[in-house]
Chain A
Amino acid sequence: MKMRRLAYPYVLWMAVFTVAPLMLVAFYALTAYDADGRLFFTLQGLRNVFATDNTVAFNLFGLADLFGFNLQVPIYINVFAKSLEIALISTVVCLLVGYPAAYILAQHSRKRRGQSNFWLFLFIMPMWMNALLRTYAWLALLEPMGIVNTVLGYLGIGPFQFIYNDFGIGLGMVYNYLPFMVLPIHSVLVKISPSLIEAAEDLGADSTRTFLRVTFPLSLPGILSGINMVFMPAMTTFLIPDLLGGGRYLLIGNAIERQFMVSRDMTTGSALSILLMIFVLASMRILTKYEQESSEGGLLA
């Protein structure tokens, strides 16, 4: 008996359940069923995505307000831009909040070399919890009659509208994905050799300078993979905008979900999925390239 034959059934499985489904998304993006249930080639899905008969004002990061221009774009392009905006802002907030946390955790890990780091463990634990439950927890916390508004009410402020807006969705994303930013940065920081820092100090650099010129550049690969791990799910989630946006909010994730589950328009849904997938893979690719470059150029190459 040839042992390698044991791998063959899986190759078939993989072809059917991994490769074929992705190709079908591309296939359905370019086809539709006619009245007799026959498939025919169509560009209608792509045309719907880029339809110019239903346009809205483009205002990424409020740029249009800032510069006072009026650019009309197809509605899905605007949804895409809105998703990009919220995903980018969430990623930046994750980085700003997460980097110090990763730095402190790394200092802690170094001190307890070899032993498992309890604080790190506490950081990872929420990651294991279902994104649905985590998001729901915020919904219960932030809703108009929720606990935060009640406490603020005792203090005589509020109530505030925390959910069903950009703020709520961004908060949901930061909460869900913060550990994805902290862990890669932490694991890079822990690996930086203490002698490099000592050397910098011996050569007369103060701690700020040491951080800016030695530690931070060496942690860039961790930052890039953190950005990658936060940006991708933030760009594609449909759960967070759906629950924290109260179902009224359209980001690219729930636009796709609605095409499939509500409008039952597979063609447009597939076209949107393909475009999203290409966008996400392309941005991952660019980031990975930077990651390689920055780690090659580093001291520890």
Chain B
Amino acid sequence: MMRSFFTMLAVLLALTTALVTLAGLLLERQPVLLAGVLATWEPAIREWSATLLQVFSISVAVSIIIGIMNLLLVHLRRSGRRDTGCGYSLVLFLSAAIVIGLTYLERENLLTTGAEWRVLLLEQVQVTVESSLAGLLLFGLVYGAWRVMALRVNGWGSLFVLTVLLVLGAALPLPELAPLVPLRDWLLAVPVNAGARGILLGIALATIVVGARVLIGQDRSLRSGRDE
């Protein structure tokens, strides 16, 4: 009983906030077109819409902070349990603690080394690791293409590999490969453009479907297990 009450309330809340926000956003895009329809309510709707967006943004920020705290607590607990991976958890927790601690010490002028530890950690650890991870993708991608027809040699696989080779070949600035450039440009301008447009339109249509589900109260995330 209580659960369905909360579900109903949640659906109603989602519906109301969605409609108010949507009205505000539409008014921002087409003020002239809609101002007549919503003349009386326009300033209020715009203000509510802006406030809801602001509350949303700050809520997400709060959620991220809580999420990070949760993550650190989980790893702190794990590091005390001496099971598999507890060392990694300790490393993760200590890394975060060092960054936060150094920031505090720097802000309070308690560090006397004269070095910008925080900036140093950012560039020498975070950027280094993330950039190197991204660099590793190269091997996976090349190896994936190398073996793409390992299972079955068919037309689609061949077309895929040919396209990959054409894109790569046209990017290699050798005079011998220059004839590939106009072909690559045409490929990007027409079939790839068409495919990308299809994908983008598909995403937009899917978004509309999901949005419509929320607006009619059919979204699963608002229902608890028993409701379904």
A and B pair up? no
